[in-house]
Chains A and B, each alone.
Chain A
Amino acid sequence: MTELSGKCIIAIGERDGIPGPAIAAIARSAGAREVVSFTQCFV
């Protein structure tokens, strides 16, 4: 398991999967610092 505490993360979510802000929220709760988060549509 990757240790996220103290690390910077870029969260890229997907429309039909997990939105970027949700990924960022999980990473923040594990101690990471969110640099940027966004959601993409791949279709």
Chain B
Amino acid sequence: MEQFPCIKSVKLCLSHVPNLIRHGSKPQREITSNSTILDDILNSARSFEDAIKYPPHQVFIGNHTPEDLAGVERPWYRRSFEDSSSVGPDGEIVEEGLFLCLTAAIDPFNLLRLDSRYIDRHRDALSRAKWFNENDLELLGDGTPQQTLKDLVECRGALPLYQGHEFIGCVENGHSEDSSLSAEIVLENLTSKSSAVIALRLLNNDGDSGNEIGYVIGCGEEAIGDRYQRGGGNLAKAVAENSGCLNATGSDIKAFCCAPNHAIVVGAALVTSGLYKNVAVIGGGSLAKLGMKFQGHLRNNMPILEDVLASVAVLIGEDDGFSPIIDLESIGRHTVAAGSSPQAIAEALIVEPLIRKGLGILDVDRYATELHDPDITEPQGSGNTPRTNYRVLASLAVQRKEITRDEMSDFVDRYGMPGFSPTQGHIASAIPFLGHAYRSLTSGNANHTMFYAKGSLFLGRMTEMSDGMSFVLTRNAKTNKGQKG
């Protein structure tokens, strides 16, 4: 029997890692050419408390809504919500020390090593973390003596890790002659893995669903593999292994920033076919993008806001009579023939599927698209990405005579939202709104929410094409508006 696939649960996490900014692609290159920049970066790092209080982060983990954020005067890094917390209905903000301890604990080759004293400083907090367990504690062990760490850096070319100027650990190369397993790439992959593990463990904790998940789809952007199969994957299965999904297999979907949307559509199709009852889509954070726009932040005397690794876990399952349905009849595809102008992409992802469904643009309650935080992008001259995309959407509505030109600004305010996601590529693309959409489509008054995301295929130099994928989440026909779950 055909199943209607639902989004049953969502977790979105932020691992605050200010001391890993220096390992981001842009900071690393700039520090190499001018080592004094490291001190500028360290002096502009945010405290954990400031990262928690940052209004977009509170929206990201579901403690506040995008509407709340729209009412906060910018720049947001100078403001805070009074009731800020590191824990929200959609996820958590995780402190760096705890994050690194988990990363070391679930590193099966013991390439990331932490100083014994550094681990000891975090033991109490680790015992309270919902996503850290007894087995992790055992795997973490006692840590590594400082002298051994120094030897690994000096004699074996390990990458040193610091907290400020304090030497707290290192990452060994995965192979002495394989650049695909260099310490920098191993760190990138391990942090992507552990950030995704946090999100999937929180997802499983909420519903105790780990053993019920049959398939895990990874949608991160890291290239897992050695020199003979760089990018071969499969991070999804590694994350499943460390998240209690013992009955799951999995694979990775690669599609740049729109990979999460591809993964959700594929996961929904797997559930609809009856092949799996429950599919998890997971995405880890992107270390390379830490501090990507740090120069703009330094120039404007701001803290460096790209100091978090974002991660996501989404549970897709059979219709439970309550959760929002992924409407497979209104999937938007950016085909090879579609063209790569913003208008062509928007028509393929938004207008065409709505027409197919007999809906107009105004029939959808909210649109989630590229939700990059403008506090991060504007200081470096990259503009306000969500607003640009919502204006393209508004112009389509004008073209289709659903609104007038004078109504474009109101349309953007009503159907769009401010960007509240860190610039973590695939994570920023529409999916940070999933938790908010779940609530508005179950206990709120919404009927349809569209998620559309774009992928920059041209960055890989294999094609000049873009990509994109959209889906519509629809209120479950069996729920009444305002009904509580």
Binding site for B on A (CB under 8 A): 15-22, 38-43
Compute how far the CA of A42 lies from the CA of B44 in the bound complex, rounded to whole angstroms: 22
* A19-B459 CB under 8 A given contacts A43-B372, A43-B377, A43-B428: no
B227 → chain A, closest Cβ, in Å? 27
Size bracket, chain B contacts: 20 to 34
Q: Are A43 and B382 in contact (CB under 8 A)?
A: yes
Q: Are B342 and A17 in contact (CB under 8 A)?
A: yes
Compute how far the CA of A13 lies from the CA of B453 in the bound complex, rounded to whole angstroms: 19
Q: Nearest B residue to A19 by beta-carbon distance?
A: B340
A11 → chain B, closest Cβ, in Å? 11
Compute how far the CA of A38 lies from the CA of B389 in the bound complex, rounded to whole angstroms: 20
A18 → chain B, closest Cβ, in Å? 7
Residues of A within 8 A of B375 (CB): none
Q: Does B157 contact A (CB under 8 A)?
A: no
Q: Are B389 and A15 in contact (CB under 8 A)?
A: no
Of the listed residues B340, B385, B389, B428, the one surrounded by the most CB atoms of chain A closer than 10 A to its CB is B340
In the complex, chain B residues 424-470 whose Cβ is within 8 Å of any chain A Cβ: 425, 428, 454, 456, 458-459, 464, 466
Compute how far the CA of A18 lies from the CA of B383 in the bound complex, rounded to whole angstroms: 14
Of the listed residues B257, B423, B464, B466, the one surrounded by the most CB atoms of chain A closer than 10 A to its CB is B464
Q: Nearest A residue to B456 by beta-carbon distance?
A: A41
Residues of B within 8 A of A42 (CB): 377, 382-383
Residues of B within 8 A of A18 (CB): 341-342
Q: Are A38 and B342 in contact (CB under 8 A)?
A: no
Residues of B within 8 A of A16 (CB): 342, 370, 383, 385, 388-389, 454
In the complex, chain B residues 245-280 whose Cβ is within 8 Å of any chain A Cβ: 257
Q: Are A19 and B423 in contact (CB under 8 A)?
A: no
- Kindly identify which residue among B377, B428, B466 contacts A15, using a CB–CB cutoff of 8 Å: B466
Q: Are B456 and A15 in contact (CB under 8 A)?
A: yes
* A43-B464 CB under 8 A given contacts A15-B456, A17-B342, A19-B341: no
Compute how far the CA of A41 lies from the CA of B377 in the bound complex, rounded to whole angstroms: 12
Residues of B within 8 A of A20 (CB): 458, 464
- Kindly identify which residue among A17, A21, A40 contacts B464, using a CB–CB cutoff of 8 Å: A21
Q: Are B340 and A43 in contact (CB under 8 A)?
A: no
Compute how far the CA of A15 lies from the CA of B466 in the bound complex, rounded to whole angstroms: 8
If A16-B383, A17-B342, A18-B341 are given as contacts, then 11 extra A-B residue pairs at C-beta distance below 8 Å, sorted by A number, are: A16-B370, A18-B342, A19-B340, A19-B464, A22-B340, A22-B341, A38-B464, A43-B370, A43-B377, A43-B423, A43-B428
Residues of B within 8 A of A19 (CB): 340-341, 458, 464, 466
Residues of B within 8 A of A21 (CB): 340, 464
In the complex, chain B residues 369-397 whose Cβ is within 8 Å of any chain A Cβ: 370, 372, 377, 382-383, 385, 388-389
Compute how far the CA of A12 lies from the CA of B364 in the bound complex, rounded to whole angstroms: 34
Q: Are B459 and A41 in contact (CB under 8 A)?
A: yes
